[in-house]
A and B are shown apart, each in its own frame.
Chain A
Amino acid sequence: MRLLRPAGDPEAEDDAALLRAVARGDSAALGTLHDRHAGWLHARLTRRCPDPETVRDVLQDTFVTVWRTAASHRGGEAGGWLWVIAVRRLVDAQRVRSRADRALRAEPAPPTPSPSAEEHVLAGLEFGDVGAALDRISPELREVLRATVVDGLTTLEASRLLGIPEGTVKTRAARARRELRTALAQLTPESDPLGGTA
């Protein structure tokens, strides 16, 4: 584990150790984990849900889940793991909150969106180009992209989080990618981060 961890990032290893301690029932370790991650989770949830009550409950729920299931964490990024728990809780909470405008029928889980396009977008994020391009697309497209790409939700989950039909999520995601591609082409005519190798 240690060898595989990026050098100069002792905190990451710390997280794994903390989670192991939490799995053993060490509540002080949970406190430390809370100190390190609750803040950004709170901010990130707040960006996706305007209701502070829900954010608070989801956050609390997330850490209680961590306490119960820390032993099932198989290494990997603790932050990413925490976010998956938190965002799924948020989707659930939003689903409950949403008025029954739609029937809450059990739908077959849609296939996970193909990762390639998403990963290209993510890879581009750190290089600013995509960031600038994102500024050019409309907020509702961005919202869909954020849910499916950044937050790693399925289209069904995204539709629940955003309160729009699943079909709309799909069409908007497709349109967002198209517009993003156009915007990128305008910004950097010589490269195509969405199509080429990242």
Chain B
Amino acid sequence: MKKTILGALTVASFGLPAMAQDNIEVTLGVLNDRSGVYADLSGEGSVVAARMAVEDFDAASKGLDVEVISADHQNKPDIASNIARQWYDQDGVDAILDVPTSSTALAVADITAQANKILIDSGAGSTQLTGEQCQPTTIHWTYDTAALAKGTGGAVTEAGDKKWFFLTADYAFGHSLEEETMKIVEESGGEIVGSVRHPFPATDFSSFLLQAQASGADVIGLANAGGDTVNAIKQASEFGITQSGQSLAALLMFITDVHALGAQTAQGLVLTEAFYWDHDDETREWSARFEEKFGSKPTMVHAGVYSGTMHYLRAVEATGSTDGDVVAEWMKANEFDDPLFGEGYVRKDGRVIHDMHLYEVKTPDESTGEWDLYKHVSTIPGEEAFLPMEGSGCAFANES
């Protein structure tokens, strides 16, 4: 597996004399999609983010020899599982970062627990990671589908758009996203006026969009992901749906998707994110440094990898150990105050609790630059955004 070590970065060799010192060796493995549909929102950017965390933490002077390696799991759980096992068994990896797509994340979470290491997941959205398939060594950092449903579904309904129509991808992920959002819309006093299921993947949304338009709904909720969401938004823009007074709500979308669509097409779209580069001075400063190294603005997944790595390194420094249980316990016992996510903490089940934000995509007139895409609508406090731990199905967190 030596070849997977991508430009192995040893920070510790700077400035330290070559004399014997009891440094803790830490190897971080960034395992994500580097060639497929999620390569833009995770990919190499996550590796850059992890390295920035190592530099900013100043690991070298704190007695940590940190190395960051990476590999492409190609969104296939068997490849992810193979790499994860090999990293833990042979390459001395202590923590795996990122891991987008829920099937690969669940596979890696399992292996991580067996190996007693740490998984800090930023890219995957499945609530299963801290639900029925939770593991004591899984830290789920950035977002999950429940938080996105809560943010978009709840905040939009409370803001006055009561009638919802759902455009749902016809497979398990779409169904659960639709179900979660419907529940929240109804709890917030909204009404479901209809829903339609489209095949996965779909390219032609015209008949579904016409149904949505005819339903008289205030909001069209897009319970799908990736290419389906992008296609639906493009076609909705051609149908003039947002101009005619209905709004679109994307339930799973990233800034890279919005950037690809452009403000012209995506204007008026509402979506929930954990992080936006233009949120405050600290996120702007960090994002500028990130852009300098990587060439584009960071996504919330990149930001999650950075913050997760920071908190992990703090734990290793404090405990002097890379043992999965020990580090996980420290990470859960100590709150963090992070430049990117604000104040937050890791709950017992591994769910990271931080604020989520509802954004609306700017119109081309409002947008002043290529990446100036969002305006802030509201903040959803972390305690409300994520599912409560009770009743989540996570056995170890709910016992005693």
Whether both chains belong to one complex is answered with: no
Interface residues of A (CB under 8 A from B): none
- Which residues does B use to contact A, with CB under 8 Å? none
